[in-house]
Amino acid sequence: MRVLLIEDDRVLGGAVREHVASLGYGIDLMTRLDDANEALATTAYELILLDLNLPDGNGLTFLRGLRSRGNTVPVIILTAQDQIASRIEGLNSGADDYLVKPFDLSELTARAAAVARRYGGNANPLLRLGKVELDLARRIVCVKGKPVDLTAREWAVLERLARHPNMMIAKSAIEDSLYEFGAEIDSNAVEVYVSRLRKKLGSDVIKTVRGAGYRVSS
């Protein structure tokens, strides 16, 4: 596991770096967002620790940019006691957790482990369909890095489509995976679920192939 620490306080940054390194993980410390962006372009991190007040910009802006580019790497925000508003805004901007300074290093370890566990480390493959990502194992869907709640039926339709990206799936095939064999359904249920999925995921994810079925592209 490789960690990116973005923190301009050299004392705190050095302490965290040593602690993380002592746990046997790789860690890069950046004090500027510019440097962090450069590091992100060349290295695949599995966790980012992000301070919000940085010399060349706001960490929240950085985080939102990250998520809007479809990057779903776990991010833990490091904030001072008096920045509660920023903290909430951080979670809304796509952070996974936060730590209030000053924090105990063992608490950092625990939170980092929890976040990494939640994300399944590096093992679980994400299926990417443009700005939409789905984790088939965990039944999680994200749009631009933000999780979206789907009902059982909505998930079933999306999964059926996503398991064969770029392939046209007949409406009858989707019905078959929705209902038991032989369950005759004479309605437009699939159309309704597609409509609801489009409302949640964006209208350009599922394409209609008129007279044939539906398709998602990777």
Partner DNA sequence: GCCGACCTGACAGCAACCTGAACGGCCTCG
Partner DNA sequence: CGAGGCCGTTCAGGTTGCTGTCAGGTCGGC
Residues at the interface with its own copies (CB under 8 A)? 40-45, 61, 64-65, 67-72, 94, 125-126, 128, 133, 138-140, 147, 149, 151-152, 165-168, 209-212, 217-218
Phi, psi dihedrals of residue 68, rounded to the nearest 5°: -70, -20
Binding partner of residue 199 among DNA, its own copies, none, CB cut-off 5 to 8 Å per kind: DNA
Q: Which residue has the tokens 């609801």?
A: 196
Judged by beta carbon, residue 81 or residue 218, the one nearer its own copies is 218
Nearer to DNA among residue 84 and residue 212 (C-beta): 212
- Give the SS3 label for residue 10: helix
In three-state form (DSSP H/G/I as H, E/B as E, the rest C), the secondary structure along 47-68 is: EEEEECEECCEEHHHHHHHHHH
**Two tokens at 196?**
């609801």
The pair of three-digit structure tokens given for residue 43, joined into one six-digit string = 């290295």
Binding characters for DNA, 133-162, by CB under 7 A (x = yes):
----------------x-xxxx--------
Name which of residues 160 to 179 contact DNA (CB under 7 A): 171, 178-179
Question: By three-state DSSP, how is residue 207 classified?
Answer: strand
Partner in contact with 61, chosen from DNA, its own copies, none, beta carbon below 5 to 8 Å by kind: its own copies
